[in-house]
Chain A
Amino acid sequence: MSEVDPSRPLVGQPVRRVEDARLLRGRGRFVADLSPIAGIHHAAVVRSPHAHARVGAVDASAALALEGVIAVVTPDDARRLLRPFGVGVGGAEPYWPLALDTARYAGEPVAVVVARDRYVAEDAADLVAVDYEPLAPVLDVEAGRVVSDRSFRYGDPDAAFAAAAHRVEASFRFPRYSSTPIECYAVVAEWDAAAGEATVWSNFHGPFVMQPLIAASLGIPENRLRLVVPADIGGSFGIKSGVYAYIPLIALASRLAGVPVRWTADRWEDLVASQAGTDRLTRAAAAVDAEGRILGLRLEILDDVGAHLRPPEPATLYRCFGNLVGPYAVEHLAVEARAVLTNRPPTGLNRGFGGQQLYFTLERLVEMVGRRVGLDRVEVRRRNLIPAQHMPYRTPTGGVYDSGDYPALLDTLLREGDHTGMLAERDRLRRAGRLAGVGMAMIVDPSGTNLGYIDLARTPEERGRGLGKSGCTESATLTMDPMGGVRLRIATAPEGQGHETVAAQIVADALGVPMAAVRVDPSIDTASQVWNVSSGSYSSRFAPIVASAIHRACAALRERILAIAAEILEVDAADLELVGGGVRARGSDRAVPLRRVAGVAHWDPGALPPGVEPLLSVTASFSSELARSPAGDDTVDSSICYGGVGGLCLVDIDPDTCAVTLLRYASVHDSGRILNPLLADGQVAGALAHGLGGALYEELAYDPDGNPLTTSFMDYLCPTVREMPELRIHHLRGDTDFVPSRAKGIGEGTCMAAPAAIASAVTDALSGHGVEVTELPVHGGRIWEWLHTRERGEP
């Protein structure tokens, strides 16, 4: 590992994480470690054992009779004291956090027991008698009720298909899976009856657009709902955003019990009733000319959002709308986007949100196009990539790709990923009797979401009638204390990404102070800090958006410091620089330490130059002007930045057991400037593990009655370090002038590319058997069935 050179800017260097000292010693403080208020009682959630059932009488008398039980929240209580969450689109019924009269998935909350401890609460939960009348569940996405349905046309897809030499089509299924963070959902809620206010400590990490939804569900004004999030969250990868749906429920439990209430989900609850990535069926067709250029695409997308259209769904459909064509110069598209209800748990954010589903389809389709016209997987991509000279490139769906050279990315992928070596190893394995394959994927990695994309779920007419939606705003508050120390507050609620480290690097560089002089607080308290509805940790927004807000805050504080120093040094502010913990006149030895500058503002404001505010605290924000609500033609720039990611891999399949092993993976990135290569590479490795999980191991499975089959880590298989391949990571020297940080997100791209790349490699490995991988995960049992179904001549 290369060393950090303190004489150079820290941004761009492999600075070690400041968080690790506490996390590795077990000193992180998570929600379950907090006792923020006295008298906390404990909740256990009573959940429906049926995937679909009428909920009749709920008899809590036996539970209430158990010693130590103080309250039971029933559907009647919820009906009386809560309101359903607002659902953004027309077709779906209101979403209540508790099943009122119908349970729609196995595991849906039906009641909440509050007791003096968790043991008693769980015992009492078993005593709550619920009168269920089971109903037939709907589990097939093609049989489910469509609750959001939109058609889009960009360019002239009919003409493209009419002019095409080839039409290549197939259906693809992307699985429902999670990210299974180590820490599960956790909430402590206190209802203050006197004030009519709720205070909630939780591991909700945003988007804070949910804060008004939670307040509305509780029937209180937003300024009477205080959400607190500690600086440490034990992973999420998007999954924990769904904890918001439990917050009104636990706050209601506190209201009824008259005491603060804690609920900490266990792993079973996490697997059956938290949140999952959306499973998707896509019917796709490509119009292709004789040379293999893709002229147009038709995509019919069916997202299984589970039992409720839980906000922000149907966002999975739209998160990638600006980059729907990936890295390819496709000009004509027809898209049907539908969200469908089934009797499975609700879906939502999961690392790679929308991109995993999109690129699995797109990349499999591109390779099928190649085979149809006789081009290998490299050449068919090369022929369709957007040329570098077209950057910034406006996609037909309205995305504006800020920068990138995709042909160069492809060349680099082949070179740095050792394509030649992988092919040689594949051929050696094949000669030894193995089924081996090489696969690849090229994707565009969106980062810094423009929340306006969600509005595509409404028609232009519907949008025209109401308020538009847009935005990606983040703010940063920077304060210098009397001794020149700096405190940065950001509203990001990181889940382990290392925001404290990277934010401190940026501030240290901008103010010319050592990192140790910068204290970063990324925890959230909506009652006492600056935040907005876009705040939080999602959509790879730290590098492009949050880092840019920090840059702005640094610039504003710097200006104030220089104005004071100019007075002290009697030098024009334009000739001053911040360096070595002080302010110095450029090219001279005239300097003043920061603590003296800060001292003037704090201790002697009377000496401040005229017009300088006596406050060394600034709040600055960043929001891109590109973040606009969708246009009348349904185009939208759904993300502020777009990186380029290539994946190349080698798989080995045992010819007898059909077991698949990922042997090698190469991930090549153009993510703009790299803020910290150590953390960036950690993100890539983690994203690969997540992509590998969806490709070969992880699946939330249900039996024909809708009962969950993957209720523990015995059946829900996350890849471990033993399943991780040899990994090569390479970064192109990238840049972007669309954001002040000049950096794009990096934590999701590999998990968007890897499932497609691995599927490509498995298809290559099974090429002699005519198998085309169109669904995931693939594993020995499934491959054996495919091969043996074919041998027996069955379809």
Chain B
Amino acid sequence: MLAGGQSLMPLLAFRLARPTLLVDLNRLGAELGGVEAEPGGALRIGALARQRAVERSGALSVLGEALALVGHPAIRNRGTVVGSVCHADPAAEVCAVALALDGSLELRSIRGRREVAVDELLTGPFSTAIEPDELAVALRLRPPAGWRWRVLEVARRAGDFALAGVVAGVDPAGGDARLAVFGAAPRPYRLDGPPAGLAERAAAAARPSGDLHGGVAYRRHLVGVVARRALAALGTDAA
């Protein structure tokens, strides 16, 4: 399935993916390009909604904050929000936002329609529960009412995949918090609970792999740093 092509085209160029059939969705913009607020506070993002358009729409500030960290504007002009979820890069900001906001992916096939929670959808690095005959048509996000959010990451350069990152939220009373950590495990993971000690739990849960940009211990350390900072920025007493 070709939407924005920001992950698939490099895979094709490197001959890592050699599909026998390639379906280009790009003429379905009218059907799949929309972003709508739904009754009950959910946001439905169509499969062809470009990251840059969603970012600039102001539809959801935490998503905009996360999208601003995705690559560079030229990438976001083409890349789609739904495509990022389907690609399931462990370091993808969008997957972590979807996890934090109880997101689900709407899938269609000739067999029918189903909706899969992002937590069940993401099965590992670059792998999802999407069946070969299914088309992702939209992502539905369910931001809890009144929560405030902050997205923080550490990357070697602006726009790089994060060495560690976090989507952090806190409820209006400040007693309940939520973290979705990305770039630190085979898939993003989520922790819920009172702010105190949450960052430490996040670091302990990290399962990063090391590479030339940072070793395992450093990356785990970074999870704690970004989680603490994000919670502190939200005014919680995370320390």
Contacts and interface: CB of A to CB of B under 8 A. Distances in A.
B163 interface: yes
Contacts of A122: 15
A720 B217 contact: no
B154 A717 contact: no
Contact of A720 (B13, B159, B161, B221): B159
Contacts of A719: 157
Nearest to A716: B212
Given A122-B15, A781-B163, A659 B215 contact: no
A788 interface: yes
Interface in B198-235: 211-215, 217-218, 221-222, 225, 229
A779 B156 contact: yes
Contacts of B225: 656-657
Given A657-B154, A717-B157, A784 B14 contact: no
Contacts of A720: 72, 157-159
Nearest to B213: A781
A455 interface: no
Interface residues of B, number: 24
A266 to B, nearest CB: 8
Contacts of A699: 212
A245 B158 CA distance: 36
Given A699-B212, A709-B212, A788 B156 contact: no
Nearest to A788: B217
A672 to B, nearest CB: 35
A492 B156 CA distance: 37
A720 B160 CA distance: 11
Contacts, number: 57
Nearest to B14: A268
A717 B156 contact: yes
A268 B11 CA distance: 13
Contacts of B221: 784
A25 interface: no
A164 interface: no
A321 interface: no
B159 A657 contact: no
Interface in A759-795: 779-781, 784-785, 788
Contacts of A780: 154, 156, 163, 214, 218
A709 B211 contact: yes
A265 B163 CA distance: 31
A720 B212 CA distance: 19
B154 A659 contact: yes
Contacts of A715: 211-213
Interface string B8-31: 001001110000000000000000
A431 interface: no
A719 B13 CA distance: 24
Contacts of B215: 781, 785
Contacts of A788: 217
Interface in B118-156: 154, 156
B157 A701 contact: no
A784 B214 CA distance: 9
A177 interface: no
Nearest to A722: B158
A370 B54 CA distance: 55
Contact of A714 (B13, B158, B161, B163): B161
B158 A781 contact: no
B218 A723 contact: no
A657 B156 CA distance: 11
Contacts of A723: 157-158
A697 interface: yes
Interface in A711-731: 712, 714-715, 717, 719-720, 722-723
A347 B172 CA distance: 59
Contacts of B159: 720, 722
Contacts of B229: 656
Contacts of B218: 658, 780-781, 784-785
Contacts of B154: 657, 659, 780
B239 to A, nearest CB: 12
A655 to B, nearest CB: 10
Contacts of B161: 714
A126 B14 CA distance: 12
A440 B179 CA distance: 42
Contacts of B14: 268, 712
Interface in A629-660: 656-659
A715 B213 CA distance: 8
A722 B211 contact: no
Interface string B153-183: 0101111110100000000000000000000
Nearest to A711: B14
Nearest to A781: B214
A658 B213 CA distance: 12
B52 to A, nearest CB: 17
A268 B163 CA distance: 23
A697 B212 CA distance: 11
A781 B154 CA distance: 11
Nearest to A718: B157
Interface in A684-735: 697, 699, 701, 709-710, 712, 714-715, 717, 719-720, 722-723
A761 to B, nearest CB: 18
Nearest to A125: B15
Contacts of A266: 13
A781 to B, nearest CB: 4
A126 B218 CA distance: 39
Contacts of B163: 780-781
Contacts of B156: 659, 697, 717, 779-780
A658 B163 CA distance: 12
Contacts of B15: 122, 126
Contacts of B211: 709, 715
Contact of B213 (A656, A657, A722, A779): A779
Interface in A115-155: 122, 126
A492 to B, nearest CB: 33
A712 B11 CA distance: 12
21 contacts: A122-B15, A268-B14, A657-B154, A657-B225, A658-B218, A659-B154, A659-B156, A701-B212, A709-B211, A710-B212, A715-B213, A720-B159, A723-B157, A779-B213, A780-B154, A780-B163, A780-B218, A781-B214, A781-B218, A785-B215, A785-B218
Given A656-B229, A780-B218, 8 more contacts: A659-B154, A712-B14, A719-B157, A720-B158, A722-B159, A779-B156, A781-B213, A781-B214
Q: Across the A-B interface, give the 5 residue pairs with the lowest CB-CB distance, nearest first.
A: A781-B214, A722-B158, A656-B225, A784-B218, A701-B212
Interface of A: 122, 126, 266, 268, 656-659, 697, 699, 701, 709-710, 712, 714-715, 717, 719-720, 722-723, 779-781, 784-785, 788
